[in-house]
Structure 1
Amino acid sequence: MDVRTFWLAGRPATGDTELTVTNSHDGRVVGRHSVPTDAQVEEAVAAAHAVARQAAALPVHVRAEALAHVSRRIAERAEEIAQLITAENGKPILWARGETSRAVATFRFAAEEARRWSGGVQRLDTEPAATGRLAYVSRVPYGPVLAITPFNFPLNLVAHKVAPAIAVGAPVVIKPAPATPLSALLLGEILAETDLPPGMFSVLPIENERASALVQDPRLPVVSFTGSAPVGYAIADQIPRKHVTLELGGNAAAVVLADADLDWAAQRIALYSNYQAGQSCIAVQRVIVEQPVYDAFVDRLIPAVTGLVTGDPADEKTQVGPLVSEHAAERVEQWVQEAVAAGAKVLAGGTREGAVIAPTVLTDVPDDAKVVCEEVFGPVMILQPAASVNEAYAMVNDSKYGLQAGVFTRSLDAAFQANRELEVGGVIIGDVPSYRADQMPYGGVKDSGIGREGLHSAMEDLTYEKVMVLTGLTL
């Protein structure tokens, strides 16, 4: 089996050690990759720092065409990439193809935003003292970006860090998740086909414990991290003077009000509690149902959950595959068992086979159980009745997280009340909280993070406003 190179300042490179990536479903070896040495990591950071001014000055058409090229090439190699995602992540091919299509769109959106990215002007002669003065306001990148990415979307969440950085002219050093580095390395191969200058990107598949030095390196003034809240906030605490963006997940709630289409709600919630094996920051975890329709909704939900196809992620029909590792599945199983021991009832699932957790539905779960309070990151949902709309929304807010929430209702009043009252970064009306369009602002409040993804929003987050005042003009 060939050993994949990593990408050092835009060129392929090898270190002096290798790591193996395995499939969580059957344990087979998916690939091997070379690991950068400390000296090579230093070279990558030095190159990003050295090219920063050149990168910021790159003509817009160069950045935009590089991004468009990446979009086209991902589309051309879509099936190959999807198969790779499934192999290294365990994600069913159904969802891997969807992730690949989203990455195509993410780079396309970035190319379009790069062409629109421009400064603005402001007349200052609104006061006599500023007669003849005009302000030109532009946005300037803070500098090179350290992008630390998770395993659950090994291509598209890398894209959401790389694409806006290139769009604004910021070099980017990518540290992919150790469990799923191959998709990021393939993306590096495509980036190397562009006319971006050397040093504009590096892909460094290093162990997590080696990332601390990168986080603290002053030559990387921006750290963009997606992962768990404890790790994210530990990073932020280490570097109080850096610009940090954090996407830290949540325990997303779906609210089903009495006027909802119960069949639609049951089908969507069943699927999107369990898609990606629940390993999505916005997978449905808490299901809050208005009391008058609670029993009728449960009668629809359970058959929808038990009817999901679980098994081999390479099978075209599989909807729910394994977790990223057997260790991750054991942790989810333990949380379910803890909830049951505390009085919860299992309405579906609750079993484990290797890295696969059967789609699980729990009810009567104590409020302090981990499956309520924390992010399960597995195919588990809990059912909770609510006496009213107001109580349902209060239950959504009774969480330390606040990423997205879904509200199934036909009422505009209930929709706008949700938008006013729910303490989340996104409210999805008529669908699950798992909905995300890659161009829209995406991020959370409370322990769900700091900053926003979505191409335009991320581009703003990676830059600061700079003002040039022109004097002595006849306006």
Structure 2
Amino acid sequence: MLNNIRDEKGNFKNLINGEWVQSIGGNFIHIKSPLDDSFLGSVPAMTKEEVDVAVKTAKEAQKRWRDTAIYERAEILYRAADIILENEAELSYLMMMEIAKDRKSCRSEVSRTSDFIRFTADTAKNLSGESIPGGSFPGFKNNKVSIVKREPLGVVLAISPFNYPVNLAASKIAPALMAGNSVVFKPATQGSLCGLYLAKIFEAAGTPAGILNTVTGKGSEIGDYITTHKGIDFINFTGSTEIGKRISEITSMVPLLMELGGKDAAIVLKDADLDLAASNIVAGGYSYSGQRCTAVKRILVVNEVADKLIEKIKEKMKKLTVGNPLEKDVDVVPLINSKAADFVWQLIEEAEEKGAKLIVGGKREGNLIYPTLFDRVTTEMRLAWEEPFGPVLPIIRVNDVDEAIEIANKSEYGLQGAVFTENINDAFYIADKLEVGTVQVNNKTERGPDHFPFLGVKSSGMGTQGVRYSIEAMTRHKATVINLSSNK
């Protein structure tokens, strides 16, 4: 499926106005696999002039798309969902090679994306407006009626991250299209091949020319330009808090929907099912090597059960498989690049230097960092506060529930939190006090189901995602007031 989106030299093209066009500037970014450093392809480093064309094209096409019946939009999404499944093996393999995700997770992401697209089409068909009688407000009679409907915003800029290059791209594109918007889609550089593949799927499904356009290039060169472009009406971004804050600082009067970083805490109380807690902590902390915003990133456990919990986590960690997914099925894979691995290693070394007790791991082979667990981590250590985006977990011992809540809330992040307890009153008490978007009770922090609201507070994001919530975020209310003749 990739053949017709590459030129005769093997360079990838971009989808602009329904056609796969070659780079005008002639500059390319070479994509190599984090697994074996093999060359996967080159994507255009687009110029500002090429960005202008993509945005202008989307602007013009959206005028027609907004008048397309919702059931017609839905049929396109249904076809896209089918095509994704038809190409699951090829797309999964490309994902594994491009972002070093294990085979099982790649297949799961592809199938989940198909489900997401289909559910989005179903949900959009069932959204409706409302009518409001004027007489329900004091001082007004029933001779006024407000007819309220939702209208598209215009051109949506969708910026996806490397770690879920298909799912988190589709979770922006599908709701935007169903809401009647056009999309300019900029995938993360590492992950752009998967992004272009996804764009090809939407095109093959019958998305009209100009409704979905792709932009590839370095954020340092065109990032500020595209996010402040006058033709952009909405920005949906998933990525680092640093970049998210930058976008919010330089944009003006453009609504934002952003999913940023996290430092999700798992709070374990003395009455918790420790086997359940340990299983969820290991799965939540080490899958895809912790390269997820919703990964469990620290453990706050009361002193009475800390030792028992550590022993159970150690036993669960022994079952983790580590290595290259090209060679075998693994849980922990190499990190996305050496810069990421270096950062995680710095946090590990600093924790050891300041007296944290290494329980498991602390080993590195290139960009592969073995699953690592520290006990006796204190709030003076960087590992207690910084998001590693890697397979390392700190255990912070606390005296009671309130101390755990206090430490959790001191974080600049507020994405999710988890609490493990058999006491429903304690669960609700903690859920009420945690400054996060979502609290998981007796489960790891995680994204989904995709129709649930998903949001972060503080430095973890802006706005609410989830199928219905995303569609609503990319529309606006429009009221038409009918003034009836006054009754005599």
TM-score, with length taken from structure 2: 0.93
The residue matched to 1:223 in structure 2 has which SS? Answer: strand
Does structure 2 conserve the Cα–Cα contact (< 8 Å) formed by 1:4 and 1:34? yes
Question: What is the rounded CA distance, in whole Å, between the counterparts of 2:218 and 2:19 in structure 1?
Answer: 21
Mean CA deviation greater in 259-268 or 35-44: 35-44
Question: What is the rounded CA distance, in whole Å, between the counterparts of 2:276 and 2:18 in structure 1?
Answer: 47
For residue 174 of structure 1, the aligned residue among 160, 164, 185 is 185
Does structure 1 conserve the Cα–Cα contact (< 8 Å) formed by 2:447 and 2:454? no
Question: What is the rounded CA distance, in whole Å, between the counterparts of 1:34 and 1:241 in structure 2?
Answer: 30
Q: Deviations over 1:399-425 (max 9, x none)?
A: 111101111122211221122111110
Does structure 1 conserve the Cα–Cα contact (< 8 Å) formed by 2:298 and 2:394? yes
For residue 266 of structure 1, the aligned residue among 267, 278, 299 is 278
Give the corresponding residue for 1:65: 75
Does structure 2 conserve the Cα–Cα contact (< 8 Å) formed by 1:14 and 1:36? no
Mean CA deviation greater in 128-137 or 349-358: 128-137
**RMSD, aligned CA:** 1.8
Residue type of the alignment partner of 1:293: V
For residue 467 of structure 1, the aligned residue among 452, 456, 479 is 479
For residue 386 of structure 1, the aligned residue among 389, 392, 398 is 398
Confirm whether residue 20 of structure 1 aligns to residue 39 of structure 2: no
CA deviation after TM superposition for structure 1 residue 435, in Å: 4.6
Does structure 1 conserve the Cα–Cα contact (< 8 Å) formed by 2:29 and 2:217? no
Residue type of the alignment partner of 1:7: L
CA deviation after TM superposition for structure 1 residue 242, in Å: 1.3
Confirm whether residue 235 of structure 1 aligns to residue 247 of structure 2: yes
Q: Deviations over 1:44-77 (max 9, x none)?
A: 1101111232222221012111111111111121
Question: What is the rounded CA distance, in whole Å, between the counterparts of 2:383 and 2:252 in structure 1?
Answer: 32
Give the corresponding residue for 1:133: 144
Give the corresponding residue for 1:289: 301
CA deviation after TM superposition for structure 1 residue 138, in Å: 1.0
Question: What is the rounded CA distance, in whole Å, between the counterparts of 1:344 and 1:248 in structure 2?
Answer: 28
Confirm whether residue 191 of structure 1 aligns to residue 199 of structure 2: no
Give the corresponding residue for 1:158: 169
Give the corresponding residue for 1:223: 235
Question: What is the rounded CA distance, in whole Å, between the counterparts of 1:314 and 1:118 in structure 2?
Answer: 48
Does structure 2 conserve the Cα–Cα contact (< 8 Å) formed by 1:142 and 1:464? yes
Give the corresponding residue for 1:79: 89
The alignment of Structure 1 onto Structure 2 pairs a total of residues equal to: 475
Q: Deviations over 1:440-472 (max 9, x none)?
A: 111111111111111111112112211111121
CA deviation after TM superposition for structure 1 residue 10, in Å: 2.8
Question: What is the rounded CA distance, in whole Å, between the counterparts of 2:418 and 2:328 in structure 1?
Answer: 28
CA deviation after TM superposition for structure 1 residue 35, in Å: 4.0
Question: What is the rounded CA distance, in whole Å, between the counterparts of 2:374 and 2:176 in structure 1?
Answer: 42
Confirm whether residue 364 of structure 1 aligns to residue 384 of structure 2: no
For residue 361 of structure 2, the aligned residue among 328, 349, 364 is 349
Does structure 2 conserve the Cα–Cα contact (< 8 Å) formed by 1:94 and 1:319? no
Give the corresponding residue for 1:440: 452
When residues 311 and 411 of structure 1 are mapped into structure 2, their CA distance, relative to the original with a 3 A threshold, is same
For residue 145 of structure 1, the aligned residue among 141, 144, 156 is 156
The residue matched to 1:104 in structure 2 has which SS? Answer: helix
Give the corresponding residue for 2:3: none
Could you tell me which runs of 5 or more consecutive residues in structure 1 were left unpaired when the two chains were aligned: none
When residues 125 and 315 of structure 1 are mapped into structure 2, their CA distance, relative to the original with a 3 A threshold, is farther
1:6-45 alignment, distance < 5 Å: 6-15=14-23, 16-45=26-55
Does structure 2 conserve the Cα–Cα contact (< 8 Å) formed by 1:306 and 1:359? no
Question: What is the rounded CA distance, in whole Å, between the counterparts of 1:457 and 1:278 in structure 2?
Answer: 27
Q: Deviations over 1:287-324 (max 9, x none)?
A: 11122211111111012123310001234521111111
Question: What is the rounded CA distance, in whole Å, between the counterparts of 1:269 and 1:253 in structure 2?
Answer: 10
Question: What is the rounded CA distance, in whole Å, between the counterparts of 2:486 and 2:335 in structure 1?
Answer: 66
Question: What is the rounded CA distance, in whole Å, between the counterparts of 1:418 and 1:68 in structure 2?
Answer: 41
Give the corresponding residue for 1:246: 258
The residue matched to 2:243 in structure 1 has which SS? Answer: helix
CA deviation after TM superposition for structure 1 residue 99, in Å: 1.2
Q: Deviations over 1:272-296 (max 9, x none)?
A: 2111111100111111112221111
Does structure 2 conserve the Cα–Cα contact (< 8 Å) formed by 1:6 and 1:36? no
Q: Deviations over 1:145-189 (max 9, x none)?
A: 111111111111111111110110111111111111011100111
CA deviation after TM superposition for structure 1 residue 245, in Å: 1.8
The residue matched to 1:394 in structure 2 has which SS? Answer: helix
Mean CA deviation greater in 367-376 or 32-41: 32-41
Q: Deviations over 1:231-258 (max 9, x none)?
A: 1111111013211222112111111122
CA deviation after TM superposition for structure 1 residue 38, in Å: 3.5
Residue type of the alignment partner of 2:329: K
CA deviation after TM superposition for structure 1 residue 5, in Å: 2.1
TM-score, with length taken from structure 1: 0.96
CA deviation after TM superposition for structure 1 residue 473, in Å: 6.9
Question: What is the rounded CA distance, in whole Å, between the counterparts of 1:104 and 1:35 in structure 2?
Answer: 29
Question: What is the rounded CA distance, in whole Å, between the counterparts of 2:323 and 2:100 in structure 1?
Answer: 10
Confirm whether residue 93 of structure 1 aligns to residue 106 of structure 2: no
Question: What is the rounded CA distance, in whole Å, between the counterparts of 1:261 and 1:455 in structure 2?
Answer: 33
Does structure 2 conserve the Cα–Cα contact (< 8 Å) formed by 1:134 and 1:473? no
Question: What is the rounded CA distance, in whole Å, between the counterparts of 2:76 and 2:156 in structure 1?
Answer: 18
The residue matched to 2:465 in structure 1 has which SS? Answer: coil
Question: What is the rounded CA distance, in whole Å, between the counterparts of 2:453 and 2:257 in structure 1?
Answer: 13
When residues 303 and 123 of structure 1 are mapped into structure 2, their CA distance, relative to the original with a 3 A threshold, is same
Question: What is the rounded CA distance, in whole Å, between the counterparts of 2:382 and 2:93 in structure 1?
Answer: 34
Give the corresponding residue for 2:468: 456
Residue type of the alignment partner of 2:195: A
Give the corresponding residue for 1:411: 423
Mean CA deviation greater in 88-97 or 304-313: 304-313
Percent pairwise identity: 32
Question: What is the rounded CA distance, in whole Å, between the counterparts of 1:234 and 1:5 in structure 2?
Answer: 28
Does structure 2 conserve the Cα–Cα contact (< 8 Å) formed by 1:270 and 1:304? yes
1:321-360 alignment, distance < 5 Å: 321-360=333-372
Residue type of the alignment partner of 1:177: A
Q: Deviations over 1:107-165 (max 9, x none)?
A: 11211111112211112223563322221111222221111111111111111111110
When residues 333 and 128 of structure 1 are mapped into structure 2, their CA distance, relative to the original with a 3 A threshold, is closer
CA deviation after TM superposition for structure 1 residue 474, in Å: 9.7
The residue matched to 1:459 in structure 2 has which SS? Answer: helix
Residue type of the alignment partner of 1:166: L
Give the corresponding residue for 2:414: 402
For residue 111 of structure 1, the aligned residue among 121, 136, 146 is 121
Give the corresponding residue for 2:66: 56
